[in-house]
Structure 1
């Protein structure tokens, strides 16, 4: 429960962080777009301002020539004052004054335009830097957002997987204890009871023989032999459940044939077995692991699928051991997580231990297909 609470709390924190980062990303994008719009306006204004500066420069140069010429004329009039009328002298003074005033205005306007041009260039450079930084920040925020959405999701998956492994570990311990109790009961109720009966019957044989009843003693001996055979069968069955001896003696394929045949007869379910490849021996660890994987898949089909037909296909090629276990049972939805599905978890753990691949394809009402691929040397 603590792990669930922690996961929910972590999900809430991550969701809040994602929301804040997404809003920040939107704000950065808005700032960047506004800066771009302002930049476009300023660049257009700069073009116009530069054109005005050029016009003022041309006008300034033209007026300076006119002022120079007017001053020359004024100097000439002043030097030969007596040659010109009062009106001519007045006109020369007025013209020169007007040209000087106009020149001063043009020079002042040119200076203003130059200052405006320089200010526009500074603002454009600053806006370009702002846009550059905004784009860089937006890229970093996108990385953070992807990290939150993907990598933190992976963290949740890791936590969930760790939780499953913890539960699976506890289940293994429980299963071990339950298996010990089962074996203890089986030995107590089976071979132990039979051995006790054999001991009692052997004493009865001894008394019967001593009393002179030879035929009765022989009959008791036959009964004792029958009990010994039954006890031996029970012991072998218990040993087989723990680990099939045929696996060490005969190998994987013959052991699977015998196991599936026995299970089919015992459960009254039709189990078909197909094998492709040479019946070669492989490393014992692979034989044991693969036998247990097929055993678990078949047991799941028998216990949960309510199947009437189970098809087991095994292929052994130069690279992989491949098993397909298909049933015509009721199926299930693999997307819906089932509580206490430790059989599948155990299969997944065993396959991952050998760096293999486990694929489960099932649909409600359409049976289940289990594909196991284990690479081996």
Structure 2
């Protein structure tokens, strides 16, 4: 039922109810059976009962419509993210294949092997992102843990996870952004850190959440911690989309730490 129909019904119900009851009360058939005071009580009670039943039904209908709209909006965001990932995968693989061809022609087999590993990693990540249908109800923590297991197997880097998320704390749109942050951060660890161990801590409370990702890699000098390096700009932008503030810290040969804190809207 459309909002236009609901609007018309909302206008007609009180008019028909009160007008109709008043007409019946003053008709010849009922005029001598009910006193004015009894009629007032009767119309008040009937009006209350009908208005309560109608408003309950109407607000339930509106709530269901809003839930459906919200669900459709979240599904659209999920599919848009998948389209973005597909385009990103296409561009990355096209570029990597071109470099692979160049290296093979030059006989640089070691560089070519590294590019093949990069293609394999990108394909695995894309397959994981597309493997779970948006309509399936898989908890966010399970998705993250499963991806981290795959990442650790492919990269050979050990992971110490600590994930404690309250059910339903994040919306589907927030989960998309947060999952992308985790993927980007661990991709940077695999590509740049030369670490053999990494950790992730994702905890939620009633009104707050915190994500901490650390590695024991080579790190970089303080003046090298720039947002335009190693995809840090993307991390910052995604954190801001979910009302989070991000902080980077790193020391040469002592690893890197990314900390993101956010509040529930």
Q: What TM-score do the two structures reach when normalised by structure 2?
A: 0.50
Alignment partner of 1:345 out of 211, 227, 233: 233
Shift of 1:244: 4.9
Matches for 1:96-175 after TM superposition, within 5 Å:
none
Deviation digits for residues 142-182 of structure 1, max 9, x if unmatched? xxxxxxxxxxxxxxxxxxxxxxxxxxxxxxxxx98653245
Shift of 1:245: 3.8
| Contact 1:305–1:330, Cα closer than 8 Å, also in 2 | yes
**What is aligned with 1:257?**
145
Range 284-293 or range 244-253, more displaced: 244-253
Shift of 1:353: 2.3
Alignment partner of 1:300 out of 161, 185, 188: 188
Deviation digits for residues 104-125 of structure 1, max 9, x if unmatched? xxxxxxxxxxxxxxxxxxxxxx
Q: Aligned residues, how many? A: 155
Q: What TM-score do the two structures reach when normalised by structure 1?
A: 0.36
In 1, the alpha carbon distance for the partners of 2:190 and 2:256 equals 12
Alignment partner of 2:201 out of 291, 313, 320: 313
Deviation digits for residues 48-94 of structure 1, max 9, x if unmatched? xxxxxxxxxxxxxxxxxxxxxxxxxxxxxxxxxxxxxxxxxxxxxxx
Shift of 1:370: 0.7
In 1, the alpha carbon distance for the partners of 2:135 and 2:204 equals 16
Find out whether 1:180 has 2:90 as its counterpart. yes
Relative to structure 1, the CA distance from residue 364 to residue 242 in structure 2 (aligned partners, 3 Å threshold; closer, same or farther) is: farther
Higher CA-based Rg: 1
Find out whether 1:271 has 2:181 as its counterpart. no
Relative to structure 1, the CA distance from residue 246 to residue 274 in structure 2 (aligned partners, 3 Å threshold; closer, same or farther) is: farther
In 1, the alpha carbon distance for the partners of 2:165 and 2:233 equals 29
In 1, the alpha carbon distance for the partners of 2:162 and 2:156 equals 19
In 1, the alpha carbon distance for the partners of 2:255 and 2:124 equals 34
Shift of 1:251: 2.4
Relative to structure 1, the CA distance from residue 247 to residue 336 in structure 2 (aligned partners, 3 Å threshold; closer, same or farther) is: farther
Relative to structure 1, the CA distance from residue 246 to residue 329 in structure 2 (aligned partners, 3 Å threshold; closer, same or farther) is: farther
| CA RMSD between the two structures | 3.3
Shift of 1:278: 3.5
Q: Which secondary structure does the structure 2 equivalent of 1:318 belong to?
A: coil
Long gaps (5+) in structure 1: 1-174, 186-234
**What is aligned with 2:43?**
none
Shift of 1:303: 1.0
Deviation digits for residues 292-338 of structure 1, max 9, x if unmatched? 11111111111111110001111011112211101100111243355
In 2, the alpha carbon distance for the partners of 1:310 and 1:360 equals 15
Long gaps (5+) in structure 2: 1-84, 96-122
Matches for 1:14-33 after TM superposition, within 5 Å:
none
More helix by share: 1
Alignment partner of 1:358 out of 235, 239, 246: 246
Q: Which secondary structure does the structure 2 equivalent of 1:307 belong to?
A: coil
Q: Which secondary structure does the structure 2 equivalent of 1:249 belong to?
A: coil
Relative to structure 1, the CA distance from residue 280 to residue 367 in structure 2 (aligned partners, 3 Å threshold; closer, same or farther) is: same
Relative to structure 1, the CA distance from residue 318 to residue 247 in structure 2 (aligned partners, 3 Å threshold; closer, same or farther) is: farther
| Contact 2:227–2:233, Cα closer than 8 Å, also in 1 | no
Q: Which secondary structure does the structure 1 equivalent of 2:195 belong to?
A: coil
| Contact 2:225–2:249, Cα closer than 8 Å, also in 1 | no
